[in-house]
Amino acid sequence: MSDLKDVFWLTLKEKRDIALAVLFGFLAGLAGVALLGASGYLISKAALTAQMTTLVVMAATLKLFGFAAAIARYGERLFSHRATFTMLGHLRGNFFERLAPLAPGIFQRHKSGDLLSRIVGDVESLQNFLLRVLYPPIVAGLVLLATVFFTSFYSLPVAFVILGGAIFSVVILPIFFAYRRRNKAHTTRVSRGEFASASTEFLYGFRDLKIHLALDQKSEDLRAQARRYEQAQQREGLEENRVQSINALFAFLTSFLVLALGAYFVSIGELSGLFLAMLVMVSLGAFENTGPLAALPAYFEESRIAARRLEEVVDRSPDDSTGVMPEGLPDIVADDLCYHYPSDGRLALENISFHLPAGSKTAIVGPSGSGKSTLLLLLLKVIEPDTGSVHIGGSELATMKPESLWQRMNVVLQDNHFFAGTIESNLRIANEQAGPDQMLQALELVHLGHVELSAPVLEKGRNLSGGEKQRLAMARAFLKSERLWLLDEPFSSVDGLTAQAIYRELFTGRPEDSFVIISHDLAGLEAIDQILVLENGRLIENGTYKELMKRRGYFYGLKKIEEEIFV
């Protein structure tokens, strides 16, 4: 239940609607019991006395109870659903408030698509918490208690029998089945998750599978996963039916006991025969309210898992640092940085130390997977080091608000998002104030002067080439025009000549700015003040181009290989 603590308190915020839903549910249940009880009494009365006036009054009362039950049921549905949807609104708001400060670091742990479908699915699941878990036992319990109270006026032992049945149906059976269900629900959920991610992968990789003629084998894997999910669902369905049958069995057994006990008391003269049918019908009517409890264990488990999974996503303290990046162009000092990704035991970066003076140009090079992008993410405070520290302008990065850093940096990452709209609307996100002339100038700088600002951009920049996207991202950086540049392979898809020309314009146009550039391309590094060479997460060489070439170490080797390939 501790997983559902927050959802419980959020639900309780809707006290008024919940109280009204319980009240109307109780009245509807009571009216149903009264309807059946009165009909039982009417039958007995008709059989034993056949007094016309009594029969007419009783028939009218029956109509009234039927009418009251329908109205009360409507009120119950109205208020319970209103409380549920308001609670879901609070839940979404509350969750988003906790999630937003964790972005963009959250995407290191979850894929954005997974995260979205997971959050939407789990929040939706929690709509059942009030409707099918919280208030059905309260309503059923209250109706049964009222029935016990009523029957106690006619026969205490019969009242006790109904009380015993009530305790079994409302307390013991739901707890027992909820406990039994724990592992089973887990299996279904796991196989559903596996099937969902396998289907997504299948669709994303469809073209590659076709080209590599591997479609049949992957389809078979997917079918096997679908079968496993189907079997798990079947088992879950069977369990639900079992709970329903056992619930109904208990209700009938209790009513049967009421009948047997009532018949005995009638035979020994302790109960008037007139009331026997009424008591049996009252018992049947009261246990009708326990019907929805059959689904309670399943919904309880589903809500519990959904609440836990939502909590897992936001269960970390947001960055509440209040410091800001010092004014002016700062130097950057990294001291003994170590980092490992949460999903990976290996260190992605190990004991990295360096000094980037203000106004210097630094290139980070190294083989794929050596940790270059990870290092940039640490400098951007998207992720935090396991150990070690970074100081920017003498202040510790850990104390700075991430927004204060991002505001003062021109950042181009490997993947840049482009929104459906125009070139202008996509440039505007970098600088709200920029006018058309400034935008055209930025486009000119990245050799996209021929592109019109009104040109359309499709979703995710589908109508742009890889190189155009990168240059558009660079144009955003130009528009922002801060003095600290962090660029992660900004021109990997741009032809060498254009890339070199843009770099030249960048360096000559902004000789005083600081640059940190990740690049696979070792050409043109002569113009760089410092080169950091990473391999397997370690900083293995550090120096100017000349120093590294003179040292004849790793960088020299890479350079020679590159020359041999292109000669």
Ligand X SMILES: Nc1ncnc2c1ncn2[C@@H]1O[C@H](COP(=O)(O)OP(=O)(O)OP(=O)(O)O)[C@@H](O)[C@H]1O
**Beta strands across the sheet bearing 387-392:** 349-356, 332-339, 387-392, 395-396
The yes or no reply on residue 383 touching ligand X (CB under 6 A) is: no
Q: How far is CA 299 from the centre of its chain?
A: 18
Please report, to the nearest 10 degrees, the dihedral formed by the alpha carbons of residues 150, 151, 156, 160 taken in order: -100
The yes or no reply on residue 112 touching ligand X (CB under 6 A) is: no
Number of Cβ within a 10 Å radius of residue 477: 23
CB of 372 to ligand X, least distance (A): 4
């640490």: which residue's tokens?
378
Nearer to ligand X, 63 or 520 (CB): 520
Nearer to ligand X, 298 or 382 (CB): 382
Nearer to ligand X, 255 or 470 (CB): 470
Q: State the DSSP H helix or E strand holding residue 191, giving kind and residue range, or none if neither.
A: helix 173-204
Using DSSP, state whether 339 is helix, strand or coil.
Answer: strand
CB of 534 to ligand X, least distance (A): 6
Site for ligand X in 500-539 (CB under 6 A): none
CB of 376 to ligand X, least distance (A): 8
Nearer to ligand X, 22 or 365 (CB): 365
């025969």: which residue's tokens?
273
Nearer to ligand X, 85 or 554 (CB): 554
Nearer to ligand X, 313 or 423 (CB): 313
CB 535 within 8 A of CB 528: no
Number of Cβ within a 10 Å radius of residue 214: 12
Nearer to ligand X, 282 or 348 (CB): 348
The yes or no reply on residue 371 touching ligand X (CB under 6 A) is: yes
CB of 33 to ligand X, least distance (A): 59
Nearer to ligand X, 300 or 339 (CB): 339
The yes or no reply on residue 108 touching ligand X (CB under 6 A) is: yes
The yes or no reply on residue 541 touching ligand X (CB under 6 A) is: no
CB of 70 to ligand X, least distance (A): 57
The one-letter amino acid at 228: R
The yes or no reply on residue 447 touching ligand X (CB under 6 A) is: no
């009532």: which residue's tokens?
262
Could you tell me which residues come within 8 angstroms of residue 423 by beta carbon, excluding any fewer than 6 positions away? 439, 443, 451, 452, 453, 454, 455, 457, 472
Within the chain, what is the greatest distance between any pair of CA atoms? 119
Among 86, 187, 200, 373, binds ligand X (CB under 6 A): 373
Interior CA angle at 390 toward 401 and 504, to 5°? 90
Nearer to ligand X, 175 or 561 (CB): 561
CB 40 within 8 A of CB 279: yes
Site for ligand X in 330-369 (CB under 6 A): 341, 343-344, 348, 366, 368-369
The yes or no reply on residue 35 touching ligand X (CB under 6 A) is: no
CB of 520 to ligand X, least distance (A): 6
CB of 547 to ligand X, least distance (A): 22
Class of residue 507 by CB neighbours under 10 A (exposed 0-12, middle 13-18, buried 19+):
middle
The yes or no reply on residue 415 touching ligand X (CB under 6 A) is: no
Among 370, 410, 519, 542, binds ligand X (CB under 6 A): 370
CB 130 within 8 A of CB 82: no
The yes or no reply on residue 372 touching ligand X (CB under 6 A) is: yes
DSSP state of 341: -
Residues of this chain that interact with ligand X (CB under 6 A) are 108, 341, 343-344, 348, 366, 368-374
